[in-house]
Structure 1
Amino acid sequence: MAKVHEGGVRLRPAEVAIRVFVLSLGAIFVLMPVFWTILTSLKTGQQTLEIPPVWFFVPQWGNYAEVLRLVPFQNYALNTAVIVTGVVVGTLLSCSFSAYGFARLRAPGRNVIFGVLMATMMLPSTVTLVPTYIVFNKIGWLNTFLPLIVPAFFGSAFFIFMFRQFYLSLPRELEEAARIDGASYFRIWWSIFLPLSLPVIATVTVFTFVGTYNDFFGPLIYLTDESKWTISVALSTFGGSPRIGPQLHMLTAATMIAAAPSIIVFLLAQRYYVNGISVAGINK
């Protein structure tokens, strides 16, 4: 039987079998919560309360339609889409533009400013929560989407770092040729650097999309009107309320519906996502 090669090391069939077995056990262990959520979403309310758990039952596919009937899920999805789109666009534009300046433009104290920017990553968000809330309250932005969207247009230290690392890997000849043709710095960034940044753009998009889509604390603090809730906040409705009551099967069904967009985005951008992380981590 042919032996498997890995990095020049010849592996015996028994070693391959052991690795596959261990990895399979690990995958099953990691996916168990997902399996439990899917099974619970297809049970009746009574079956979710039975001990020991019921493993063989008639799937209740109507639970998913019932979720959409109990709450205005489409309205929450629209609110979430508006916020997520604004945050993704703002993050990509601000972080890529700032990173271009740190990577290519020469200015006194550039490295010091970049160091201070990186130091902000060690500042917990809870420290700035109260003063930020006071500022948004003073300018009348509470119960609007603005406190959740506008800060994204001022950049994020982590994503600026990722863009900067990628820009450092691009050859300077491209920029020099554009400068000879009379292109401005803004034109170079927009027409040359951004089109070449697809791997990092996909990575930042996935990170930003998932983080914003799953954000619970921000919408909970700033959005007091139920009609402006996002999906993550609306899911708390199924945990127990006078209108619906605690229904675990409804909660898990709503969770599966809410998780679908994040899974789809990750699968679509998976190739660029992995490549973007590897590229952003190898340049100094």
Structure 2
Amino acid sequence: MVLARRKVVYMLLVAILVLMLSPFGWLLISAFKDPSELRAVPIHWWPHQPTLENFRLALTLFDFFGYARNSLTIAGIYSVLITLASAWAGYGFARLTGPGKRIIFGLMLSTMMTPQVITLIPTYLLFSKAGLLNTYVPWVLWGLAGAPYLIFLFRQFFSNMPRELEEAAIIDGCGQIRIFWRIFLPQSWPVIATSLVLSFSWSWGDYISPALLLDDDHTTLAVKMATGYVTEQGTGLYTVVGAGAILYILPSLILFLILQRGFVTSTATSGIK
């Protein structure tokens, strides 16, 4: 009976996995098709003559690597800064004491329920009046501000660390900054990996903020791909879009594969305390 239930569960999980991966599979198949095959009736599920021409066009219709460099610059700066800022804030909430700490922590978490669309216009006006449009300074400021969810993860992790480590460091004459940098931060690699993966994906996949704050020369790959793969008549090159999308997700996928062990460990243990 138990074995039968286990088989049913496995079959259900496999079915869910296939359902979730089917859009990506169709995208991958379309990237190797000739454009005429997308319009064929009946539908050609597999390309009759697989071609790499779509990938060549995806890289040459516009400066793919130039815009990818812009995206990597923004995502790299943002992910590193927001990880450090969130770790420092999480350390403060976990190990330091002060009046109103619980209230402040609750208010910070409540900001996760605020939709981004509400702050779009005020954000644009603030950066416009400060003369920061068409620069990457907004991402630096956002990174330095930290992220509520990441602060929560670091706070949960630091709360579970033994108090004896901190007490021994204080006896040796370490201040709070040194304790954070020398003891707590090196021990928090699983949460650091999670923060880097999540924040890089947020910035790399963001379309709205670059479209709002950056011009065509400084914008990101996500924005350029939305308008770069069209014919002179404005018709979308859907097979080229598929090839470009495959190339687009590679940096995030590679980063996740490198840091996946820490990501899974942190996600599994973040709610223990």
TM (norm. structure 1) is: 0.91
Q: Which runs of 5+ in 1 are unaligned?
A: 1-9
Q: State percent identity of aligned pairs.
A: 35
Deviation at 1:128, TM superposition (A): 1.9
1:51-200 equivalent positions in 2, closer than 5 A? 51-56=41-46, 57-200=48-191
- Per the alignment, in what secondary structure is the counterpart of residue 96 of structure 1? helix
2:205 to 209, 214, 219: 214
Deviation at 1:130, TM superposition (A): 1.5
CA contact (8 A) 1:148 1:218 kept: no
Q: Which runs of 5+ in 2 are unaligned?
A: none
Deviation at 1:111, TM superposition (A): 1.5
Quick check: 1:261 aligned with 2:251? yes
Deviation at 1:51, TM superposition (A): 2.8
Match of 2:196 in 1: 205
User: Which one-letter code corresponds to 2:69 in the other structure?
Assistant: L
Task: Call closer, same or farther: CA 1:234–1:11 in 2, change over 3 Å.
Answer: same
Deviation at 1:239, TM superposition (A): 5.1
Task: Call closer, same or farther: CA 1:242–1:228 in 2, change over 3 Å.
Answer: farther
CA distance in 1, matches of 2:13, 2:170: 52
Deviation at 1:84, TM superposition (A): 0.5
Task: Call closer, same or farther: CA 1:222–1:242 in 2, change over 3 Å.
Answer: farther
Match of 1:278 in 2: 268
Quick check: 1:26 aligned with 2:16? yes
Deviation at 1:177, TM superposition (A): 0.5
CA contact (8 A) 1:90 1:153 kept: yes
CA contact (8 A) 1:91 1:153 kept: yes
CA distance in 2, matches of 1:24, 1:98: 40
CA contact (8 A) 1:199 1:273 kept: yes
